Amino acid sequence: MRLFLILGILSLLIPSTAFSEQFYYIEDHKVIRNPVVCAFEFEDKELPIAEKQLLEETKNAVLEWTNKLTQFTGDEDSWKMEYKVFPIEKQHDFFAENDCDVTIYFVRDPLLVVELFSGYTEFYPFGLSEIVILYLQPIFSDEVLNSETLQNAEPIGLENSIDLYVGETIRHELGHALGLDHLPKEAISYDYKNGIPVGSSIMIDDLDGLPWNIVFEITEYDLRALVNLYGEEGFEDPFSLWFSYIIDYLILGGIVAVIIFLVHRRRKRSSRRNLM
Ligand SMILES: [Zn+2]
């Protein structure tokens, strides 16, 4: 009886998790060191300004993530990200030195998977990822442009100019590369800053019903989400993840060994039967 009483009092003392903040992460993905972000050099003969402008925009996006994380945590070293330009002549050389954790490609043509933010990220083991940025300005119908709120509208074409929101796209995709996932509908909100609606997170991708002039930036919510994911150590905490990879490969290796053993034993048996 006394035990129940003590447990009851203890449960009252432990803060309820019902009011704690919710964060959303890409499953099994986080960088395992201070990431090197490589922007792939490219050439666009139809829009020659594209390369310079997009590489500059990417550099700024990497700097902004780093600076905001550094300011937010007061930790100068743990949240560093390095920006690099990966030259064209190295891109087709399979053996070229490549220490990129995050690679960013820029393309004119819409590909199969297009997010509303005009980009997407693919994830690979060891915290690696590849970002594709579709950088042309989408054209929307008059109906979409004249509505008060945004709707999930497909662009009706692309213009030969840089997407006005490409900076938001790059920051959003870098958020994925660091491990952040989209916010579910119920978690999406915005606030007015100097009369302009600003999204509560750079990781919002569902624009349905949001004001037409909403802008997105890396918010304190995004920074809290990353600090919650990586802890005080920041990006450089390889051991936990390396350990989980080693365990995965040991399990896989064990299964393969058992299969080889079973197949081998069956063959031996059948060859013995043949001899009889
Ligand atoms: Zn996204």
Instruction: State the pLDDT at residue 92.
Output: 79
CATH number 3.20.20.70 is the correct assignment for the domain at 20-236: no
> How many Å apart are CA 199 and CA 179, to the nearest integer?
19
Quote the distance between the C-alpha of residue 271 and its chain's center. 54
Question: In 3D, which of 61, 264, 52, 251 has the Cα closest to residue 168?
Answer: 61
- Relative to beta strand 36-40, strand 102-107 is parallel
Measured in Å, residue 186 CA sits from the centre of ligand 1 at 17
Measured in Å, residue 120 CA sits from the centre of ligand 1 at 6
Instruction: State the pLDDT at residue 108.
Output: 86
Measured in Å, residue 205 CA sits from the centre of ligand 1 at 6
Measured in Å, residue 174 CA sits from the centre of ligand 1 at 9
Percent of the chain whose predicted confidence (pLDDT) is above 90 = 55
Instruction: State the pLDDT at residue 143.
Output: 80
Instruction: State the pLDDT at residue 10.
Output: 54
Measured in Å, residue 24 CA sits from the centre of ligand 1 at 12
Measured in Å, residue 203 CA sits from the centre of ligand 1 at 6
Residue 245: phi and psi, rounded to 5, are -65, -45
Measured in Å, residue 265 CA sits from the centre of ligand 1 at 50
Measured in Å, residue 221 CA sits from the centre of ligand 1 at 16
Measured in Å, residue 222 CA sits from the centre of ligand 1 at 13
Measured in Å, residue 272 CA sits from the centre of ligand 1 at 59
Cβ 199 vs Cβ 218: under 8 Å: no
Measured in Å, residue 55 CA sits from the centre of ligand 1 at 20
Ion ligand 1 contact residues with beta carbon within 5 A: 115, 205
Measured in Å, residue 252 CA sits from the centre of ligand 1 at 31
Element (H, E) at 259: helix 238-275
Measured in Å, residue 167 CA sits from the centre of ligand 1 at 13
Question: In 3D, which of 68, 28, 5, 107 has the Cα closest to residue 202?
Answer: 68
Measured in Å, residue 168 CA sits from the centre of ligand 1 at 11
What predicted TM-score, i.e. pTM, was given to this entire model?
Answer: 0.78
End-to-end CA distance of the chain: 73
Instruction: State the pLDDT at residue 106.
Output: 95
CA distances (Å), origin 270, targets 191, 199, 262, 274: 73, 68, 12, 6
Measured in Å, residue 172 CA sits from the centre of ligand 1 at 6
Instruction: State the pLDDT at residue 207.
Output: 85
Instruction: State the pLDDT at residue 62.
Output: 98
Instruction: State the pLDDT at residue 247.
Output: 75
Q: Can you give the pLDDT of all 276 residues of the chain as single tens digits?
A: 565 555 555 555 555 555 689 999 999 999 999 999 999 999 999 999 999 999 999 999 999 999 999 999 999 889 999 999 998 888 877 666 788 999 999 998 765 445 545 889 999 998 999 999 999 998 888 887 777 777 766 778 888 999 999 999 999 999 999 999 999 999 999 999 999 999 999 999 888 889 888 999 999 999 999 999 999 889 976 565 666 667 778 888 888 899 888 888 877 776 666 555
Question: In 3D, which of 214, 226, 194, 222 has the Cα closest to residue 116?
Answer: 214
Measured in Å, residue 156 CA sits from the centre of ligand 1 at 21
* All structural domains of the chain with their residue ranges: 20-236, 238-276
CA distances (Å), origin 118, targets 15, 105, 121, 203: 41, 12, 11, 13
Measured in Å, residue 14 CA sits from the centre of ligand 1 at 35
Amino acid code (one letter) for 60? N
Measured in Å, residue 157 CA sits from the centre of ligand 1 at 21
Tokens 């690979």 label which residue? 124
